[in-house]
């Protein structure tokens, strides 16, 4: 293997792989070095319970990837390398303690009818939002797809003002600054409709009262209505396998089981990396680190005081615990059999409960009533389990990275090794309340704690699956630090990518693709 590349990439997460795919297509020879035994980072799939039951380790929803600018350019090449999607017509729903439920399907009339069961006024509001989404989407997608430069945000505001006038621009700014609670309370009157949408904020560290979080419940709701959802056929790792194949077909290297111990630099310029086995790999044009900001500082040593301080104080979201279940059958939802048709069922009954759960986790407490995201992927992709059987993908949100206590006063353990099973039991008990008999259908269970998520992938600090809070002080131009939202660092030729860089978390590959386009000259 050559010890010199045009670009050397640290980590084989999907953003780094997207960057490597683009650079290799532009003629760069790339080498990707991953410490884990397989590529993908948080996007990987395996038989974590029983043979033949395929579970997504962390990320499952590939809608952002399927709709991304990166996929528009490389979709055909990725499909030639094995990428397959499983489209979802019933993306998400929420079940409530009183036995009712509400959900969004690609059938707009069916969604409106479900909302109308809670509030006719809310159904009319929903239909109005849906009808306006085609006009709203280009502005918001332009914002989220633009390089993180001051002139890009200025241009975004100019385009909004041109289309809607100055007052319309100010309304857009206000919307971007709003908390989920404020936006949803102004828009909908039924608490259940608000909760159904607010649950999406919890995926991105936006509890109901956190400023700047309104965008995500809105976008997920409208996108789910307009486009449904996309899963990976056979597992989310289909995008990783396809990108790895595309890179290798261009002469690139993806090497796993190769931890990077140091980024080499001299006279303010990155020159390569040193691996744990002592090998030195040289980079002619760029070193790209797909790592959490604080991990970067450990690899480089001191660079520039302001930058070092910013990355070392980078704030992480509360953790997530994953529970993978091999199932004899799907849950029998108390709210009705129609819920068996949805990819995601959120068990997040109210804005107040979500806010309390978040605060408990932030305080280091195991929440008494954690938010559950129940994924039912085998409804749309039967290949993930033996015939007639299923997998359930449970995200337990929120969970503290470091346990200081138990909000319910039942779990005495203060380390995840001891707290994992009783806290998982609490989560499964919640699921059982909403779907009695589920426990009897469990064939095998695999619990993955925040500590294990971090041990498997050092970027998931404290089990933070989004690699850093998206609160306003750490988003837009401030992600991960002012002046470096484009992935630049004080060292020439050293660049940061991944979810810690604008435009942030999710499977859209935006950070990696934007960086690669900049380096390659588009």
What does the pLDDT look like over 359-408, one tens digit per residue? Answer: 999 999 999 999 999 999 999 999 999 999 999 999 999 999 999 999 99
pLDDT at 236 over 80: yes
Radius of gyration of the chain (CA): 22
Residue 336 falls inside a structural domain: no
- Over residues 221-248, the mean pLDDT reads 97
- Rounded Cα distance between 378 and 52, Å, is 12
Residue 140 falls inside a structural domain: no
- Range with lowest mean pLDDT among 13-17, 162-166, 258-262, 391-395: 162-166
Residue 115 falls inside a structural domain: no
At residue 155, the pLDDT reads 87
Q: What is the CATH number of the domain that holds 242?
A: 3.50.50.60
- Rounded Cα distance between 130 and 299, Å, is 47
User: Could you list the residue range(s) of the whole structural domain that residue 39 is in?
Assistant: 4-44+58-86+235-314+468-520
Residue 495 falls inside a structural domain: yes
At residue 153, the pLDDT reads 84
- Rounded Cα distance between 184 and 195, Å, is 9
- Rounded Cα distance between 479 and 500, Å, is 6
Residue 96 falls inside a structural domain: no
Residue 152 or 403, more confident: 403
- Rounded Cα distance between 460 and 442, Å, is 28
Per-residue pLDDT reduced to its tens digit, 257-306: 999 999 999 999 999 999 999 999 999 999 999 999 999 999 999 999 99
Instruction: Report residue 353's pLDDT band, with 50, 70 and 90 as the boundaries.
Output: very high
Share of the chain above pLDDT 90, in %: 95
pLDDT at 2 over 70: no
Per-residue pLDDT reduced to its tens digit, 80-135: 999 999 999 999 999 999 999 999 999 999 999 999 999 999 999 999 999 999 99
Residue 248 falls inside a structural domain: yes
Q: Is the dihedral of CA 86, 204, 65, 52 positive or negative?
A: negative
- Rounded Cα distance between 22 and 510, Å, is 12
Strand partners for 254: 32
At residue 500, the pLDDT reads 96
Instruction: Report residue 150's pLDDT band, with 50, 70 and 90 as the boundaries.
Output: confident
- Over residues 412-428, the mean pLDDT reads 98
pLDDT at 1 over 70: no
Residue 404 falls inside a structural domain: no
| 37 CB burial (10 A radius; 0-12, 13-18, 19+) | exposed
Question: Based on the structure, what is the number of domains in the chain?
Answer: 1
Residue 300 falls inside a structural domain: yes
Per-residue pLDDT reduced to its tens digit, 18-72: 999 999 999 999 999 999 999 999 999 999 999 999 999 999 999 999 999 999 9
């Amino acid at each position: 293997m050559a010890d010199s590349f045009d670009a050397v990439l640290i980590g084989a997460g999907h953003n780094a792989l997207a960057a490597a795919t683009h650079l290799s297509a532009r003629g760069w020879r790339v080498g990707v070095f991953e410490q884990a035994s397989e590529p993908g980072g948080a996007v990987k799939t395996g038989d974590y319970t029983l043979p033949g039951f395929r579970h997504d380790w962390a990320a499952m929803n590939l809608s952002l990837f399927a709709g991304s600018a990166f996929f528009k350019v490389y979709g055909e090449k990725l499909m030639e390398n094995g990428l397959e999607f499983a489209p979802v017509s019933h993306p998400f729903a929420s079940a409530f303690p009183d036995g009712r439920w509400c959900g969004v399907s690609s059938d707009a009339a069916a969604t409106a009818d479900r909302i109308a069961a809670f509030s006719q006024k809310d159904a009319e509001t929903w239909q109005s939002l849906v009808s306006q989404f085609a006009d709203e989407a280009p502005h918001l997608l332009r914002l989220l797809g633009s390089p993180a430069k001051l002139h890009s945000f200025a241009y975004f505001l100019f385009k909004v003002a041109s289309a809607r006038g100055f007052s319309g621009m100010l309304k857009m700014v206000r919307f971007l600054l709003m908390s989920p609670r404020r936006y949803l309370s102004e828009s909908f009157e039924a608490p259940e409709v608000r909760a159904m949408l607010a649950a999406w904020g919890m995926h991105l560290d936006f509890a109901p009262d956190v400023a700047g979080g309104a965008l995500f419940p809105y976008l997920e709701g409208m996108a789910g209505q307009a486009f449904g959802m996309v899963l990976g056929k056979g597992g989310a790792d289909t995008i990783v396998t396809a990108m790895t194949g595309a890179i290798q077909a261009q002469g690139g290297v993806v090497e796993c089981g190769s931890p990077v111990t140091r980024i080499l630099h001299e006279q303010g310029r990155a020159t390569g990396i040193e691996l744990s086995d002592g090998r030195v790999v040289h980079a002619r044009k760029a070193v790209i680190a797909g790592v959490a900001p604080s991990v970067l500082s450990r690899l480089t040593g001191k660079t520039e005081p302001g930058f070092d301080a910013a990355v070392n104080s980078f704030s992480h979201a509360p953790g997530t615990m994953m529970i993978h279940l091999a199932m004899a059958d799907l849950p029998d939802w108390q709210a009705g059999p129609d819920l068996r048709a949805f990819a995601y069922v959120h068990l997040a009954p109210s804005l107040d409960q979500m806010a309390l759960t978040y605060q408990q986790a932030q305080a280091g407490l195991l929440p008494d009533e954690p938010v559950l995201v129940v994924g039912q992927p085998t409804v749309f992709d039967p290949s993930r389990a033996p015939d007639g059987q299923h997998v359930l993908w449970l995200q337990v949100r929120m969970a503290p990275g470091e346990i200081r206590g138990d909000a319910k006063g039942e779990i005495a353990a203060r380390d995840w090794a001891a707290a994992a099973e009783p806290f998982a039991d609490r989560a499964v008990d919640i699921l059982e309340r909403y779907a009695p008999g589920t426990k009897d259908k469990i064939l095998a269970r695999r619990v993955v704690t925040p500590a294990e998520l971090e041990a498997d992938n050092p970027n998931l600090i404290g089990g933070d699956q989004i690699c850093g809070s998206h609160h306003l002080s750490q988003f837009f131009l401030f992600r991960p630090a002012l002046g470096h939202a484009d992935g630049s660092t004080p060292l020439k030729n050293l660049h940061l990518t991944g979810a810690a860089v604008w435009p942030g978390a999710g499977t859209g590959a935006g950070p990696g693709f934007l960086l690669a386009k900049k380096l390659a000259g588009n």
